[in-house]
Copies of this chain bind each other. A is one copy, B any other.
Amino acid sequence: MARITIADVAREAGVSTMTVSRVLNNKGEISDSTREKVQQIISRLNYRPSMVARSLASNSTRTLGLLVPDIANPFFPEIARGAEDVAWEHGFSLILCNTVEDQEREKRSLQLLEDKRVDGIVACSPRLPDDELIPLLERHPASVLVNRTAPSSIAGMIRRDDAYGAMRAVHHLLADERQALCLLAGPTYSHGGKQRIRGFTSALEATGHSVEPESIITCSPDEAGGYEAAKRLLETRLQVNGLVCYNDLVALGAIQACDEKGMRVPGDIAIVGCDDIRLASLATPALTTLRISLYELGANAVTMLLERMGGNRETDAVVIKPELIVRASAP
């Protein structure tokens, strides 16, 4: 399959490659007649310019990298969709990398994206420690982090206000006369987890409640994690009647554990999740949860990235306040 090149077009049209290049990019002055002639040849020959040659010459690939822990995790597809839509509108495409929660693969992915000379990257919840992440990011023209902080000269940031979310959940539970609250805080390494602890603690203390360390439990961010953590919790502290969870999956796991322990949700214990994934509304009981539009999160991340690529590093942090969706699990 010998591909048609710009030279073929030029020869056929009896002009120089330069002229063809100009009509391709609408640059410089060109007479209407030659422009039309060239365009005709282009479509007759079915010529498509090579972006790889173009990239080499122009030093820009019009490609972005999207790093996610796992696209199969229900949190990320919507983000990816939002990101791709905005990228598409601006003529960029997206390389998708799953880090599968593996630091080594995350590092390799970042390097791969550098090798491919992407024009910028959006990294969702990177797991690498700062001293590894920052140097890697610095080698990219621009980057935006989702749910993770970095110096604004290095990367933009966009995240959910998890502290606010936890606070909101606590107030909601307190208003329902629930006093014995616990937090399933997610993994220790999670930035969002720490935020939730902050919000949870300060909301309780501000309302005159004391918070014991045992009421905050770490867990893996999935159903299994929620199940086990809740089980442990119910075996030690039977008086708990309100539970704030790291995310919806954790909440679902917790519900299952409660079922098994014979505790009714929300009768004996109210449960609040986070994310509002699809099945939050379809589970039994339907999950009260904190939500933000993940589509917009992804879309905003890319918008911000494009800004930064354009040299504008003004808006360096966007924080989105989640909305509390009240359903059966915590009325």
On A, residues with C-beta under 8 Å from B are 1, 46, 48-53, 55-56, 61, 63, 66, 70-74, 76-78, 80-81, 84-85, 88, 93-98, 100, 105, 111-112, 114-117, 139, 141, 252, 278-279, 282-284, 295
Contacts and interface: CB of A to CB of B under 8 A. Distances in A.
Contacts of A80: 71-72, 96
A139 B141 CA distance: 32
A116 B51 contact: yes
Given A53-B56, A71-B71, 14 more contacts: A46-B139, A48-B115, A52-B116, A63-B116, A74-B74, A74-B278, A80-B96, A84-B96, A94-B95, A95-B95, A96-B96, A278-B278, A282-B282, A282-B283
Contacts of A81: 70-72, 98
A73 B81 CA distance: 10
Contact of A50 (B95, B111, B117, B252): B117
B114 A48 contact: yes
One complex includes copies of this chain to the number of: 2
A20 B164 CA distance: 54
A68 to B, nearest CB: 10
Contact of A93 (B1, B55, B71, B95): B95
Contacts of A100: 85
A73 B71 CA distance: 12
A52 B48 contact: no
Given A50-B117, A93-B95, A97-B84, A295 B1 contact: no
A31 to B, nearest CB: 27
A118 B176 CA distance: 57
Given A72-B295, A94-B95, A111 B77 contact: no
A77 B70 CA distance: 9
A-B CB proximity, top 7 nearest: A279-B279, A72-B81, A96-B96, A77-B77, A52-B55, A51-B115, A284-B284
Contact of A282 (B84, B93, B96, B279): B279
Contacts of A74: 74, 77, 278
Nearest to A141: B1
A117 B94 CA distance: 14
A51 B84 CA distance: 23
B252 A111 contact: no
Nearest to A116: B51
Contact of A72 (B51, B72, B77, B96): B77
Could you say which of A49, A53, A112, A278 has the most chain B C-beta atoms within 10 Å of its C-beta?
A278
Contact of A56 (B56, B93, B141): B56
A72 B61 contact: no
Contacts of A284: 282, 284
A184 to B, nearest CB: 18
A86 to B, nearest CB: 12
A66 B117 contact: no
A249 B49 CA distance: 42
Given A52-B61, A97-B84, A72 B66 contact: no
A96 B94 contact: yes
A105 B88 CA distance: 10
